[in-house]
Amino acid sequence: MTTPRLPRSMPLFVVPRGRVLRLGGGRISLRWHSRTTLVCLLLAAACVVVGAAGLTTGTYRVPLSGVVACLLGHGSGADSFIVMSLRLPRLVGALLAGGALGMSGAVFQSMSRNPLGSPDIVGFTSGAASGAVVQIVLFHGGPYATALAAIGGGLVTALAVGLLAAGRGAAVGYRVVLVGIGVSAMLTSLTAYLLTRASLYEAQDAQIWLIGSLNSVTWSVVTPLAVALAVLTPVTVLGARALSWLELGEDTARGLGVPVGRTRLVLGIAATALAAATTAAVGPITFVALAAPHLCRSLVRSSGPLVVPAGLMGALLLAASDFAAQRVLPGTELPVGAVTGVLGGLFLCRLLVARRKAGRA
C-alpha cells in the first residue's frame, strides 16, 4: 500500500472560507483569508502609528514633518541625530525583535499543540540568556561573541529539551512544556550562580542585559538581527504551511504526504534561532512570544498557525511596550522587559483562568 501524496496544486495552508491564489501556472497554490488580511493590515497600520509617536515625542520633541525630512535626508543636525541615531534604531529593533518573537511563539504553540508552548516558557530563551552570561562572565568577549553565545545556548537548550521530551502521542506537547520549565529553572540557577562569581562590573552588565532592554540599541545591533530575520522569516513562513496538517495529528499528516520529521526539525531550528537571535540582540524579553499568537488568533478567528499575523502582533506589542517603558516614569527609561513581564504575567493568569473555566463548562 502506497502513501497518498498531495497534488502539487493543493494548498498546504488551510484556513476556513479562504480564497485560493494560484501562481506558476497552477503549480503553487496559496490560500488566503480576507479577515486575516484585514487584521494584518490593521496591525501594520498600528505599528506605523506607534512608530510615529515614538519618533516624534520625548524629551526632545520633533514634529512629524521634521521626522519625514530626517528620513528623506533633509533634516536639521539636531533632529537628524535624535531621529536617525537614537530613536529610529530603537524603533526598528523593537519591531524586528517583536516580530521574531511572535513568529517563534506561533510555531512552538502549533507544533506542541499547547497554548503555553513559547520559547520563554519552555526554556529556550533561558538557554540563550545563560549562554550569553557564560560568555560575559567567563570569557569576557565583545558584543558579537555574546550574540553567538546566546544563539548557541538557545540551540543547545532546544536540542536537550527535544531529546528529553521525545516520544509519540498527544502528550508530547505537554512533555515539552514540563521539561522546558524544569530546564529553564536549572538554567536560571546556573545564571544566578555565575553572577555571584562575577566582578561587580560584569554582574551589573549581565544583570541589565538579562532584564531585556532596548535602551542601548544601535544600528550595529539592528543590522545582525535584520540579517537573521531575512534568512529565517522565509523559512518559517513557507514551512509553517505544513503546520496546519500537523495540527490534525502526526499520523494524519504523514498519511497526507507531509514529511513530519523533516518539517518539525526545520521549523524547530528556525523558531529557536528566531528567539535566540532576538535574545542575543536585546536580551531575554518575556511573554511577547506567548501572548502574540493568542491575541492575533482572537482577532483573526481562524485555525492554523497564523505565523504572519503573530509576527505583526509581536512587533506591535514590543514597540508599544517600549513606548510605555520610556514614558511611564517621567525622567526614567525602564527596561522594556520589565513592562512585558508585568503585562505578560497578567495575560498568563487570564489565559489560565479562561482555560479553567472552559474545562468546567
Mean pLDDT of 37-64: 92
Q: How far is CA 251 from CA 5, 254, 256, 260, 319, in A?
A: 14, 5, 9, 9, 40
Report DSSP state, residue 21: E
The pLDDT score that the predictor gives to residue 177 is: 78
CA dihedral 276, 183, 212, 275 (to 10 degrees): 20
Residue type, position 25, single letter: G
Hey, is 12 helix, strand or coil? coil
pLDDT-based confidence at residue 47 (cuts at 50, 70, 90): very high
Is the pLDDT score of 233 beyond 90? Answer: yes
Angle at 107 between CA 182 and CA 19, to 5 degrees: 160
Mean pLDDT of 48-71: 91
| Residue pair 222/92 in contact by the 8 Å Cβ criterion | yes
Tell me if 249 is assigned to some domain.
yes
The pLDDT score that the predictor gives to residue 44 is: 95
Is the pLDDT score of 50 beyond 90? Answer: yes
Assign residue 136 the CATH number of its domain. Answer: 1.10.3470.10
The pLDDT score that the predictor gives to residue 326 is: 87
The better pLDDT of the pair 317, 341 is held by: 317
The better pLDDT of the pair 174, 128 is held by: 128
pLDDT digits (tens, 9 = 90+) for 249-275: 667 777 777 777 788 888 888 888 898
The pLDDT score that the predictor gives to residue 170 is: 54
d(CA 219, CA 45): 24
The pLDDT score that the predictor gives to residue 314 is: 94
d(CA 112, CA 247): 9
Provide the β-strand partners of residue 22.
29
Tell me if 327 is assigned to some domain.
yes
Tell me if 154 is assigned to some domain.
yes
Q: 242: Cβ–Cβ under 8 A, 6 or more apart, which residues?
A: 12, 253, 258, 263
Is the pLDDT score of 98 beyond 90? Answer: yes
The better pLDDT of the pair 293, 244 is held by: 293
Place of cell 505578560: 344
The backbone region for 37, taken as left when phi is positive above 0, alpha when psi lies in -120 to 50, beta otherwise, is alpha
Percent of the chain past pLDDT 90, that is, above it, reads: 21
Tell me if 71 is assigned to some domain.
no
The pLDDT score that the predictor gives to residue 90 is: 94
d(CA 95, CA 93): 6
Is the pLDDT score of 5 beyond 80? Answer: no
Tell me if 309 is assigned to some domain.
yes
Q: What is the number of other CB atoms lying within 10 angstroms of the CB of residue 329?
A: 9
Mean pLDDT of 158-172: 71
Is the pLDDT score of 9 beyond 50? Answer: no
Query: How many residues are given for the chain?
Result: 361
Q: What is the number of other CB atoms lying within 10 angstroms of the CB of residue 116?
A: 21
Tell me if 345 is assigned to some domain.
yes
Is the pLDDT score of 102 beyond 80? Answer: yes
pLDDT digits (tens, 9 = 90+) for 222-231: 998 999 999 9
pLDDT digits (tens, 9 = 90+) for 291-329: 899 888 888 877 667 899 999 999 999 999 999 988 887
Q: 208: Cβ–Cβ under 8 A, 6 or more apart, which residues?
A: 335
Mean pLDDT of 325-344: 83
DSSP 237-266: HHHGGGHHHHTT-HHHHHHTT--HHHHHHH
Q: 140: Cβ–Cβ under 8 A, 6 or more apart, which residues?
A: 202
| Residue pair 80/70 in contact by the 8 Å Cβ criterion | yes
Q: Which three cell numbers stand for residue 31?
A: 490560500
Is the pLDDT score of 88 beyond 90? Answer: yes
pLDDT digits (tens, 9 = 90+) for 174-210: 777 788 888 888 988 888 888 888 888 777 777 777 8
Q: How far is CA 258 from CA 90, 163, 294, in A?
A: 40, 22, 26
pLDDT digits (tens, 9 = 90+) for 271-281: 888 988 898 88
The pLDDT score that the predictor gives to residue 167 is: 63
Place of cell 528620513: 71
Tell me if 168 is assigned to some domain.
yes
pLDDT digits (tens, 9 = 90+) for 10-25: 333 333 445 544 544 5
Tell me if 140 is assigned to some domain.
yes
The pLDDT score that the predictor gives to residue 359 is: 61
Determine the structural domain holding residue 320 and report its residue range.
33-47+83-360
Computed over every residue of the chain, the mean pLDDT equals 80
The backbone region for 304, taken as left when phi is positive above 0, alpha when psi lies in -120 to 50, beta otherwise, is left
**CA-based radius of gyration for the chain:** 21
Of the listed ranges 35-49, 66-80, 159-173, the one predicted with least confidence: 159-173
Provide the sign of the torsion angle of the four alpha carbons 338, 342, 343, 344, taken in this order.
positive
The backbone region for 62, taken as left when phi is positive above 0, alpha when psi lies in -120 to 50, beta otherwise, is beta
Count how many domains the chain has: 1
Is the pLDDT score of 282 beyond 80? Answer: yes
pLDDT-based confidence at residue 171 (cuts at 50, 70, 90): low
Q: Which three cell numbers stand for residue 87?
A: 530613536
